[in-house]
Amino acid sequence: MTDGRQDGGQRQYGPLGDTLVIIPTYNEAENIKPVVERVRAGAPDAHVLVADDNSPDGTGKLADELAAADDHVHVLHRKGKEGLGAAYLAGFQWGIEHGYDVLVEMDADGSHQPEELPRLLTALKGADLVLGSRWLPGGRVVNWPKYREVLSRGGSTYSRLLLDVPIRDVTGGFRAFRRQTLEGLGLDEVASQGYCFQVDLARRAVEAGYHVVEVPITFVERERGDSKMSRDIVVEALWRVTAWGVGSRLDKLRGKKSG
């Protein structure tokens, strides 16, 4: 576990309260039922919100059937495919409006192991944000081609160094937030999508002084359905991270000169 504590260890945290696991979907008909069932088994007290972007393959209908059979499962139907970031922002808003205290990001394709969710929630008892990390000792990836690992490790290292954030896996998407943390991140100003969205929230949390903790996870490459990774997602992440890093350094230089 790595600890990005910036409060000197003095802050006291209250109980976690009610948890909502947000699962964005687009054409995940083959995966949604087993993933939701695994979440419900791994964290029986947690609720699940499937945020479906009007999937042509009927994922939304399957999610409705799960919700009809289980009062811990909910569905947010969105008009169309707008990207991962927009789906999570909508899910966060829904969760906050419905009074949840902890909001969790989790992929629909089985790459995040629902059985590891209790580990994140346990760590959140003493943190503002917990990140599931593939690149900590004890973390690993399964069935990934080498180029994907190189791309992910390189992206996290580039982001960590350029943005000066003490996080090993900046692009990972298995995360648990306290509601108050999300409310303090300026979500109305977030416009990034894809993996860049994850970098954006992580840097905002660090810059705001929140206590960020990483715990090791096992990431398993999807077995069914198509990956949403694309060249556009990689390009967006590269230019946004570069712009944030350069902008931050310029601001510091200006501050030194004016001081």
Q: What is the DSSP string of 226-244?
A: -----HHHHHHHHHHHHHH
| Confidence bin at 247 (pLDDT 50/70/90) | confident
Cβ–Cβ under 8 Å, residues 128 and 6: no
| Confidence bin at 176 (pLDDT 50/70/90) | very high
- Report, as an integer, the average pLDDT of 163-184: 94
Q: If you ran DSSP here, which 8-state letter would residue 101 be given?
A: S
CA pair distance 193, 171, nearest whole angstrom: 12
pTM of the model: 0.86
**Phi–psi pair at 182, nearest 5 degrees:** -60, -40
The fraction of the chain above a pLDDT of 90, given in percent, is 66
Q: Residue 231: pLDDT above 70?
A: no
Please name the residue ranges forming H helices in the chain: 32-42, 59-69, 84-97, 117-124, 146-163, 179-183, 194-207, 231-258
CA pair distance 204, 184, nearest whole angstrom: 9
Sign of CA dihedral 158, 248, 242, 141: positive
Q: Residue 242: pLDDT above 60?
A: yes
| Confidence bin at 49 (pLDDT 50/70/90) | very high
DSSP letters, 102-154, are EEEE--SSS-B-GGGHHHHHHHHTT-SEEEEESSSTT-EEES--HHHHHHHHH
